[in-house]
């Protein structure tokens, strides 16, 4: 191995090692007491407020499969991209199967995301996406129940942003977690994957 090749390979090997270590650390951090997280450990009872100001619980979405995504309305890129992908998927599912699947957009920023703001935000994507908010305690409980992650990150002055999980959860008709949905595919492929799982 030449010096030049060694200089290229060693940093790449170190990067891969770090990536693997980060993945292991994330699994151990998000997995209680080092045990595997079963599908039944994801989700559960919640009480929130929808974007029309009505109190809702998990029981309001029983009887039909649905998607769940955590985010916030001040999100600069990930959230609008995911919500656009979700809207495309819902259209494709409707076209292929005639089924109207709903999606729940749960804020991780309840301090700013009031029902009115959530309604204005989700209405620009799809009327089958329901914005959910609540008190900081209610939102924290849902984030924890879904084994998600959310953290406030201060910016200049009084401003802040939120780091958060970007998984799209597929939940079955009984509110049980099925799998994460890969929305970064062509809409027809996402729809096919979703329909195969519900």
Residues 6+ apart with CB under 8 A from 85: 183, 184, 187, 190
Spell 184-194 as b/e; 16+ CB within 10 A means b.
eeebeebbbbb
Say whether 66 counts as a known binding-site residue: no
HSE, side-chain direction, 13 A CA sphere, residue 169 = 26
Of the chain, the end-to-end C-alpha distance in Å amounts to: 52
Say whether 79 counts as a known binding-site residue: yes
The DSSP line for 87-150 is: HHHHHHHHHHH----EEEEEES-TTT--HHHHHHHHTTT-TTEEEEE--HHHHHHHHHHTT--E
Nearest to 50 by CA among 102, 109, 116, 111: 116
Say whether 164 counts as a known binding-site residue: yes
For the annotated binding site, the residues are 75, 79, 164
For the annotated binding site for Cu cation, the residues are 75, 79, 164
């Amino acid at each position: 191995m030449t010096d030049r090749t060694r200089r290229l390979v060693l940093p790449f090997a170190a990067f891969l090692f770090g990536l693997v270590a980060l993945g292991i650390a994330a699994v151990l951090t998000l997995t209680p007491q080092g045990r595997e997280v079963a599908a039944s450990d994801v989700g559960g009872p919640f009480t929130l407020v929808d974007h029309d100001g009505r109190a809702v619980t998990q029981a309001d979405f029983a009887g039909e499969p649905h998607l769940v995504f955590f985010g916030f309305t001040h999100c600069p890129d990930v959230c609008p991209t995911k919500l656009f992908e979700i809207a495309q998927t819902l259209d494709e599912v409707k076209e292929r199967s005639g089924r109207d699947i709903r999606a729940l957009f749960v804020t991780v920023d309840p301090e700013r995301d009031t029902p009115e703001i959530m309604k204005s935000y989700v209405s620009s994507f799809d009327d089958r996406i329901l914005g959910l908010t609540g008190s900081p305690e209610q939102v924290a409980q849902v984030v924890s129940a879904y084994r998600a992650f959310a953290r406030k990150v201060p910016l200049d002055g009084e401003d802040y942003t939120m780091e958060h999980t970007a998984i799209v959860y597929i939940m079955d008709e009984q509110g049980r977690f099925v799998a994460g949905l890969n929305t970064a595919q062509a809409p027809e492929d996402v729809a096919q994957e979703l329909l195969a799982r519900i």
